[in-house]
Every structure is written in C-alpha cells, then in structure tokens.
C-alpha cells in the first residue's frame, strides 16, 4: 500500500481538483492539481516541491508580516518537512507537486556521495524562480502520460534529478556532484542492452537497470550516458520505437498488439509517441512500408 502524504490528503479535503497522480517505485509521488477560491493551511511531515503550471497570479501566501503574492507560471515553492503554511487561492491555479521524505533525500545523498549528511534540512522557498526546476518539470514530468508504464523511467529520472538539485542548491549539504569519468564496462553494457531488448513489453525502471549493472541509480545513469551518448530513458524509448517500426513493417500484428509488445498500455499513447519519433502515425508508416515492398 502506498504512503499517504499529508499535503496530498489535505488538498483532497479542500476544493482542489486532482488531475493526475503517480506513485513511483521508491515511494515518491507526483500530483497534478487545479484549485481556485480556496484557503488552505498545511503542516506536513514530508517535503513538497511545487511548480505553478498555469495562472496563479492571484495566489497569496500568509507571512508574519501579512499576505504576500508573487505567483505565476514557472514559479516554484519548496515547503520542507515541518513547515506550516497558509495559502489563499483567489483565482485559478494549476500546479504540480512532488512529495518526498527525508529518507528519500538521505538515500539519494548516500548513492551520489557514498556518505550521509550529518544534518539535512531544506530551505523554504515561496514564489521563487529556477530554470532547472522549470525544465525538469515541463520537459520531463509534464510531457508524458503518468499512467503509462512506459513513462515510469522518465518520471523516476526527472524526480531524481529534481531531488539532486534540491540537495545541491536548497539544503545545508550543497556538495558538488562527483565527476563520472568513465562508462560501463563492455560486458556490463551488453548485459544491460540485452536486458532492455528482452523486456521492452514491461515497465522498465532505472532501478531495474541499475540493479542489473550492480550500481547505484545515480552512477549507472551517468555511466550509461557516457557509454551510449543518451540517458537510459531516452535509449529505452528509442528501442521501443525501433521495435514498433520493425513490427509494423514485417508483421500483421494489430496496432494494439504492437503497442503492448513495446510497453504501451494505450494505443493512443503509442500512436502519439510513434508520431513524435517518425513524423507519421503508425498506420501511415505501415501503409508506406507495404507500398515499398
């Protein structure tokens, strides 16, 4: 059973509308919300990183000196564990939350630096701007279907990058990330690529691949990129698309069956990703492949 985060539960009791929700294998969760005409007070036992996606200009935060606003698209708020906050959402606001715990951050720090920080506290930020946070949310988290198993690796990778960014820029740790100078050993890389090829119909995760390589997720992702020239989630999607193209060209399988064999549980999601990769819909590609035979 997945953890219920207090901020998530609080918003469900308010006027906020839950638009999407994803539970990652690590227990980290993502939630997409819409709210307006609501006042929310929250005190949580976890960390919340929020990005305003649309509107939010008339959202107010209560401070010791009175109400303050400054919201809008791409503004972010970081509410650390134990911080109490009150918000007055007077007009429309669409926002996305990432929920994680101290344990998640400590585990990540141990993976990256092979040591655990003596003290770990995040700095509260309200209506702040950070291009890296905006990029990770919009380019990764908001550009894929959270309910598709094929999206799990993208969601996990982006969440890990976001938490790493928080540790390095908004915590008492602020250690520099270690330099990864080499790639995977050829025999390990071959084992990983063979594993991916054999499991394209399944929801591959960064944790699975890192485990196959006997590395932490952080070090595996960087060594894989060094060896292959692209991130693991990009490589996996490329292989899914190449498999789909071959099946369309050389088998009579239906589009639904091809989608399933390539790790997509929705024909529409498969069609969208195929069109993005090759510029045409799968059905159009198949007709063209048959015409060229």
- Give the residue-averaged pLDDT of 146-151: 88
Q: What Cα–Cα distance (Å) separates residue 22 from each residue in 148, 152, 201, 212, 283?
A: 10, 9, 20, 25, 30
Residue 293, pLDDT score: 44
Q: Strand 38-43 to strand 47-55: parallel, antiparallel, or no bridges (unpaired)?
A: unpaired
Residue 17, pLDDT score: 98
Residue 25, pLDDT score: 80
**pLDDT per position as a tens digit, 183-205:** 999 999 999 999 999 999 998 88
DSSP string, 227-286: HHSS-HHHHHHHHHHHHHHHHHHH----HHHHHHHTT-S-HHHHHHHHHHHHSS-HHHHH
- pTM value is 0.84
């Amino acid at each position: 059973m997945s953890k219920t985060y207090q901020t998530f539960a609080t918003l469900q009791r308010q006027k906020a509308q839950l638009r999407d929700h994803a539970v990652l294998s690590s227990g980290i969760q993502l939630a997409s919300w819409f709210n307006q005409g609501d006042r929310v007070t929250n005190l949580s036992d976890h960390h919340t990183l929020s990005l305003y996606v649309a509107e939010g200009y008339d959202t107010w935060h209560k401070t010791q000196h009175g109400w303050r606003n400054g919201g809008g698209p791409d503004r972010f708020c970081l509410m650390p564990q134990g911080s109490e906050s009150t918000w007055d959402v007077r007009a429309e606001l669409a926002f996305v939350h990432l929920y994680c715990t101290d344990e998640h951050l400590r585990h990540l720090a141990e993976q990256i630096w092979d040591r655990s920080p003596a003290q770990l506290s995040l700095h509260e930020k309200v209506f702040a701007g950070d291009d890296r946070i905006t990029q990770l949310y919009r380019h990764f988290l908001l550009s894929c279907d959270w309910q598709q198993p094929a999206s799990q690796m993208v969601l996990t990778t982006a969440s890990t990058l976001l938490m790493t960014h928080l540790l390095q820029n908004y915590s008492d740790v602020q250690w520099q990330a270690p330099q990864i100078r080499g790639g995977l050993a050829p025999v390990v890389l071959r084992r990983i690529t063979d594993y991916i090829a054999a499991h394209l119909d399944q929801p591959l995760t960064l944790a699975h691949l890192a485990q196959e390589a006997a590395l932490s997720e952080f070090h595996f992702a960087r060594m894989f990129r060094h060896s292959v020239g692209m991130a693991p989630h990009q490589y996996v999607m490329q292989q899914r698309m190449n498999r789909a193209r071959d099946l369309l060209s050389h088998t009579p399988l239906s589009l639904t069956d091809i989608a399933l064999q390539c790790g997509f549980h929705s024909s529409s999601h498969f069609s969208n990703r195929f069109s993005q990769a090759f510029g045409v819909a799968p059905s159009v590609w198949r007709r063209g492949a048959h015409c060229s035979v």
